[in-house]
């Protein structure tokens, strides 16, 4: 049998926030993979090393977690008043599936830096020193994001003293603004700030279902037997608990109108997210760092791709910020209720501060902007190799 040789594709391995992934320029991909479809998906699956029944990604660039099984495709923007088009693919670990249904807020922090360094941004937009304001078109969700990228000597500044819980080493701070993250769609798909979700075998649960940043289902931790200070080991090693969360997620997805039947949930792993919220309570983060109750407004734990996230997804942080700013949601109530423009929440790796500007018009809530600080840096740049037969689809 004749074996096809490997092909090599220019790529950059980057960390953005608490995630990392393989970044490509659209024009560097093989022609058949420059358009959506099975060839592109098969290529990205092979790059990451999925599907992997061993759950290790030994034969690929992935890290066998939801935070490290990510791909990004960037190109000069086709949208007016934008610099770069950003397409995100969440690669499943044990299934031959790439989920294009949502954004990765963490990797957003690396998009501006990549775009500048790879010639995707007009030269007159890039200051020699200071901060470059890069307008990103997030193609998965068709929303605008603005990244404020520090520049020194005409190059992206990646080193600095900004510390981000969930990331081991300090780096330069990148401020991210998610502009009008909901748009004209309904922020609350059910029309209510709090819903009663009837889940067979579990019962009726109070939920806040919001579509800001990424569709998210918020629950009170105590309603399902948690206190909100759990770490990954408390949940990810317990099959019954994981099934509980997936069951809630599937029924919530139907109620939010994201899918028509429970069976469809397995094919939509990336969205919606499920998160539990609780009033502030002290705990030891996964690094051992003590988190005092006085240092946070609430605790939040979020599930991603079927497991408890080690920190917090950037898109879920957008949902947290937005919901916290709207009096009466479960997130707002867990944070003490009332009017809030920002909150600091506890997550398994530490804390994160997020802010939101919201307004109510004709009885409908709208998020004007959500802001947070992240960091990013290049880990490796070169060429990624994959067997040539991936291009047959």
Point out the catalytic residue in the list 14, 305, 312, 313: 313
Tokens of 290: 């003590």
Point out the catalytic residue in the list 14, 61, 104, 209: 104
pLDDT tens, residue order, the chain (393 aa)? 578 899 999 999 999 999 999 999 999 999 999 999 999 999 999 999 999 999 999 999 999 999 999 999 999 999 999 999 999 999 999 999 999 988 999 999 999 999 999 999 999 999 999 999 999 999 999 999 999 999 999 999 999 999 999 999 999 999 999 999 988 889 999 999 999 999 999 999 999 999 999 999 999 999 999 999 999 999 999 999 999 999 999 999 999 999 999 999 887 888 899 999 999 999 999 999 999 999 999 999 999 989 999 999 999 999 999 999 999 999 999 999 999 999 999 999 999 999 999 999 888 899 999 999 999 999 999 999 999 999 986
pLDDT of residue 183: 84
Neighbours of 224 (CB within 10 A): 16
In the residue annotation, 313 being an active-site residue is answered as: yes
For the chain, domains (ranges, CATH) are: 6-173+376-392 (3.10.310.10), 195-372 (3.10.310.10)
β-pair partners for 377: 15
Residues 11 and 255: their CA atoms lie apart, in Å, by: 40
In the residue annotation, 151 being an active-site residue is answered as: no
pLDDT of residue 342: 96
Torsion of CA 174, 180, 185, 188, to 10 degrees: 70
pLDDT of residue 6: 97
Whether 256 and 190 have beta carbons less than 8 Å apart is answered as: yes
Residues 52 and 45: their CA atoms lie apart, in Å, by: 10
Neighbours of 112 (CB within 10 A): 29
Residues 154 and 116: their CA atoms lie apart, in Å, by: 10
């Amino acid at each position: 049998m004749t074996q096809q040789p490997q092909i090599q594709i220019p790529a950059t391995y980057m960390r953005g926030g608490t995630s990392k992934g393989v970044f490509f320029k659209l024009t560097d991909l093989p022609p058949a993979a420059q358009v959506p479809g099975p060839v592109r998906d098969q290529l990205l699956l092979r790059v990451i090393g999925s599907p992997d029944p061993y759950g290790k990604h030994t034969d690929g660039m992935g890290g066998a977690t939801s935070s490290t099984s990510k791909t990004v495709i960037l190109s000069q923007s086709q949208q007016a008043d934008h610099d770069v088009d950003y397409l995100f693919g969440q690669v499943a670990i044990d299934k031959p599936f790439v989920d294009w249904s949502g954004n990765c807020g963490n990797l957003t922090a690396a998009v501006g830096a990549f775009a500048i360094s790879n010639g995707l941004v007009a030269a007159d937009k890039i200051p020699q020193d200071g901060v470059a304001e890069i307008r990103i078109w997030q193609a998965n969700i068709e929303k605008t994001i603005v990244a404020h990228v520090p520049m020194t000597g005409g190059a992206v500044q990646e080193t600095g003293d900004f510390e981000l819980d969930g990331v081991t080493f300090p780096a330069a701070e990148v401020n991210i603004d998610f502009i009008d993250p909901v748009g004209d769609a309904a922020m609350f798909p059910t029309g209510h700030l709090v819903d009663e979700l009837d889940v067979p075998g579990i019962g009726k649960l109070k939920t806040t279902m919001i579509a800001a940043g990424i569709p998210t289902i918020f629950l009170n931790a105590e309603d399902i037997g948690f206190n909100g200070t759990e770490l990954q080991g408390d949940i990810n090693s317990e099959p019954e608990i994981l099934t509980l969360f997936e069951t809630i997620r599937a029924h919530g997805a139907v109620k939010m109108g994201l899918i028509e039947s429970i069976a469809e949930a397995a094919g939509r792993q990336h969205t919606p997210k499920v998160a539990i919220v609780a009033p502030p309570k002290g705990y030891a983060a996964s690094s051992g760092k003590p988190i005092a109750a006085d240092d946070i407004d609430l605790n939040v734990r979020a599930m991603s791709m079927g497991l408890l996230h080690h920190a917090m997804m950037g898109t879920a942080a957008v949902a947290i910020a937005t919901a916290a700013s709207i009096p009466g949601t479960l997130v707002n109530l867990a944070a003490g209720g009332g009017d809030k423009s920002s909150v600091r929440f506890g997550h398994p790796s530490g804390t994160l501060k997020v802010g939101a500007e919201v307004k109510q018009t004709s009885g409908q809530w709208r998020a004007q902007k959500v802001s947070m600080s992240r960091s990013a840096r290049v880990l490796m740049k070169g060429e990624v190799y994959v067997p040539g037969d991936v291009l047959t689809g």
